[in-house]
Amino acid sequence: MQGLSAAPPAAFLLLLLSALLSPAAAAPGAERELNPSGRLAAGAARVALHYLNFQAGSPGALKELGQVRKATLKVGGSRRGRTGRGSGENAGSCLATVLYRRTKFPPVVNIKCMHTKDQKQIQEEDNRLYQKIRQKRSVNYNFSAEQPELIIFLLLSFPLADSYGHIEPALEPAWALAVAGSSYIMWEKSTESLGYFLAQVKSVKQWVNDFIEFDYTVLLHEIPTQEIISCHMRLTWLPGHPLKVKYFCASENQGLEDGSGMESGSAAGILHGKGANF
């Protein structure tokens, strides 16, 4: 199948942000406004977005980052931004904290959302997609999609409507699950100084059992190094259950790096069938 260019679901996040830096970064108690379009605010927003999309575990609940509305930096304490609703399509909001740990662990994200898409509607859409996918057997896809101690507190707003841009309808489920699964990889790999975008979904192979499995090759764009990292990802999905993700990545300058979803309440347990041998 010919490659397709596509934008991710247009559910835009607007952010009110404050940050807690380690004592090494600034004096305890210091507080100042940050540039909402600056690296710190944008990086934390991406981390919160990756975590939110992975935790949702649903093709119908994906969000896309829109804008950081306000950013505040604070050292040695915490500060929460006031929640609020955007105008027009920006009808949802979330309040999140992002903690970058100095050891080799993924950032800790806590997030609460309001005025989001109706969960019953999401579940119904997921069930329809699940039944549609189960009607297929082993399927191969080929398509591309070009896209473009630290705590950060964020207020996120996003529209209720979802849009898959120019992706062919038959590819929407595979694309959406690629975004959700790669969000886990990008969240786990993110640091205070490195961030990631999903640059391309190169190929997909699908197996259908009770659990639906997708075997992906995805390319991640690392910021600010501009390096392209190739990752092989096995994703297992069943509506109403957490996503299970297992992956390994390789780049030009690094060896193989592997991981799997082990976050409580998100991706946990042993992959079934083919996934166990991934």
Domain of 150, CATH number, reads 3.10.450.10
When pLDDT is cut at 50, 70 and 90, the band that residue 132 belongs to is: confident
Question: What's the pLDDT tens digit per position in 27-54?
Answer: 555 666 767 778 887 888 888 889 989 9
Q: What is the pLDDT of residue 118?
A: 76
Domain that holds residue 36: 12-277
Q: What is the pLDDT of residue 133?
A: 78
pLDDT above 50: residue 75: yes
CA-CA distances (angstroms) from residue 250 to 58, 77, 118, 203, 230?
27, 38, 38, 16, 5
d(CA 207, CA 134): 9
Q: Is the residue at 133 inside a domain?
A: yes
Q: Is the residue at 208 inside a domain?
A: yes
Which has more confidence, 273 or 171?
Answer: 171
Q: Is the residue at 94 inside a domain?
A: yes
Q: What is the pLDDT of residue 115?
A: 62
* Burial zone of 73 (CB within 10 Å; 0-12 exposed, 13-18 middle, 19+ buried): buried
> In the chain, what percentage of residues exceed pLDDT 70?
54
Top-ranked range on mean pLDDT: pick from 93-97, 135-139, 255-259 = 93-97
d(CA 222, CA 195): 6
Contacts of 167 by beta carbon, 8 Å cutoff, 6+ apart: 4, 6, 143, 145, 175
What residues does 222 pair with on adjacent strands?
A: 196
Q: Is the residue at 7 inside a domain?
A: no
Of the ranges 100-104, 115-119, 261-265, which one carries the lowest mean pLDDT score? 261-265
The alpha helices in 135-262, defined as continuous H runs, are 172-189
Q: What is the pLDDT of residue 45?
A: 83
d(CA 94, CA 81): 10
Task: Name the domain count of the chain.
Answer: 1
Q: Where are the beta strands (DSSP E) in 135-182?
A: 139-141, 150-158
pLDDT above 70: residue 190: yes
Q: Is the residue at 1 inside a domain?
A: no
For residue 214, which of 179, 188, 165 has the smallest C-alpha distance? 179
Q: What is the pLDDT of residue 71?
A: 66
Angle of CA points 35, 39, 84, to nearest 5°: 55
Question: What's the pLDDT tens digit per position in 178-187?
Answer: 899 999 999 9
SS3 state at 46 = helix
Q: What is the mean pLDDT of residues 186-213?
A: 85
